[in-house]
Every structure is written in C-alpha cells, then in structure tokens.
Structure 1
C-alpha cells in the first residue's frame, strides 16, 4: 500500500472516532440509566489521560528535538496563551461549542504531525494515529452532549457535522505528508504549540468536568487513558 494512502486511512479512522463518540453520547441520552454518572466522568477523564499521553510521549519529545530551547519554550507558551484567549472569546460569546473547538484545535495539528511523521520516516505515525483515536472518542462524546444541551442544533445535524469534520483528518494528514514534512522546524513548532494548547484545555476544561465527589472512577479513567498511550508508545518503540 502506498504510504500516502496509509496516512489518509489512518487520519480518516482517527477522525471517524469523533462521530462514533457522538453516537455513543446519543445512545446515552436515549438510555440515561445504563451508563451512570461515574462512568460518564470516567469517559471525560479518560480523554484527559489520552491527551496528556500524546503530549508527554509524542508531541513534546518530537517537538523539542527539532527546535532550540528558547524557540521550544516560546512555541509551547504561545499555544497555552492562544487557547486561553480562545477560551475567553467563547465564554464572552456564550458559545456551547467549547468542546467542539477544543476537539478540532488538537485534532488538526495532530493529524498534520501524523502525516509529517511518515514523511520523515519516523516511527511515531502509527502511535499518533492511535492516540488521536483515543482522544477523539471521549471528546466526541463530550462535544455532542454540550451541543445537544444547548438545544440550538438538532441531534442528527450535530452527528452529520461530526462526520464532515472527520474528513479534515485526511486533508491535514496529507498536508503534513506532502508539504510540512519537508520543514522539520515548522513541524516542531506546531507540535509544541499544540501541546501548550492541549495542556491548557486539559486543566481548564476536562479535569474540572471529570471531578466527582466520593468516587474514584474518574481518576482511574485518567490513568487508563495515559496507560493505553504508554503501551502504544512502547509497542511502537
């Protein structure tokens, strides 16, 4: 199979986990008793653990290898500050799309990094595809619930939109493979920028949502999300 086709399929599969997560949330709304509050918080925390594993195991190590220390620090800080400003803007607009924006904001740069990894002959492409899939499932779940609660869009429309957004993955992956893979410094900057933004989102949005009094399941969810990322990293290595 041509490598470009593999990139396309991996990015498409990772993107498809967004509407899959949304369908899971839709089923949960139709049958609210089957999942329960603890497992909903577990899913939120699982997504946070998977996001942190992507930062710790792929994005930051690969990013700092391509940049000087001052440049790496600047890119990481810029990502955190940018997502902070975006969060303020969404709050002022009273938008219900916070989870949706967060999902796309980490999915697109990670898909670009996936394609660039294959173009550079690195062994992190498969791992990154696996981690993106782990992230997008709970993020799709959370984003659907947030949008559905707002009542501004029909639930079928939300799922259709998620399916359309999944197609951004192949476009971003092929852009990384054919274009940005030739510029390792740019890719390193993008990875660290995304890392700073993702870390902000985890502690501003995901971790507070995962908190639930008198239960330990959410914390275990974060451990499980990171654990799967760690296992994937060791297998890829």
Structure 2
C-alpha cells in the first residue's frame, strides 16, 4: 500500500509509535490491550511531548486508525481480551530501518542523527551514523512525499535535528524556517544583535574615556 495516507493526529502518531516500540521491546505482551496502550502513550520517560490521555480518547483514535488499516484488532492467544497490533510499515511501504527511525521521531520528537541511532538501538541496529543519514535522506526524498525533514540548526548546536512529517510540518521557533538553514528572520535577528552590541561597546568606550579623564584630573 502507498504511504499517501491522510495526516495523522499527534495522538494517532503516538499510538502507532507505542505499538511498534512495544512489539520489539516487550514481545510477550504484544499485541497490546487498551490499558497497556494507554500506559505506553502516557509514559513519562522516552516521550516528547509527555501526554496525559484517557482510554476514551485512545479508543476513538484507534477506531480511526483501524478504518485506515494502520491498526489491527485481535483477541490473541487467550481469545478473551481485545488487543491491538500495528500495520504501519506495510501501509506506508517502508523497510524496518525506516519504520524504526519514524517510530523514534513519533515518540521522542525531533532528534539529531546520533540521538536517533542511540534511541533506535532496541528497534533496529544501525551500523553507523552514515547509515542513519542514508535512510533519513531516503525518507526525505520519497517521490510520493517526504516523511521527514531536516530542521535548521539551533543556536549553539553542532548537528541538525530531524523531524517526521506524518502529522504535517513541525512547529518551529519564530526565527527558524524549514528548508532555510539561515532564514531571513534569523539573519535579521543576528543583525539586530550585532547592532545592539556595537552600541553597548561604544557606550563602554565612552565610559572608560570619562574614567580616564577623571583619573588624570585627580592625579
């Protein structure tokens, strides 16, 4: 199936991310019950942003995901409790490595290549940073629509962060723009700061000059 699917809501993305994660990390408990899925969505660690959603909200999101075959219902081996499994990779036509990267981004927000490699360790083991970058570049250049984007560098940061596009363009600080590492607003902000610093330096020079004159007069 093509990945040309409607955009996900943040909760739908969280649900899919949790299902993919738990399938790999706790296979004995997978597929997940509604209670387990709720706990995974509201988990306080390894989540950005941290959510606090109820079972009714998750149930509604599951119905939407099920209608798009992104989630499958099953009663598992016991046949007593309804459980949920993900069908994310098949629906989007993605290899395991790409699914792992998107899962990490859905669960933890924007990350650098090195952060993604570390956070994907339990989902998929990448040999090195260059292999992570290769898969990210592939996801960003898909002919049917990019699924990730490289964000502008944050002030003081040495690495670019990446974000998924499954819920639409990510929100950025006002001074940053996607696809433009410097950005018009960023340049204007820098010019304003330089101008302000020049004024402050001038004032300091005048103050030092006055202190020197006073010292000379008193000697």
Identify the TM-score tier after normalising by the shorter chain: under 0.3
TM-score, normalisation: structure 1: 0.24
1 or 2, which has the higher helix percentage?
Answer: 1
Q: Looking at secondary structure, tell me which structure has more strand per residue.
A: 2
Looking at CA atoms only, which structure, 1 or 2, has the larger radius of gyration? 2
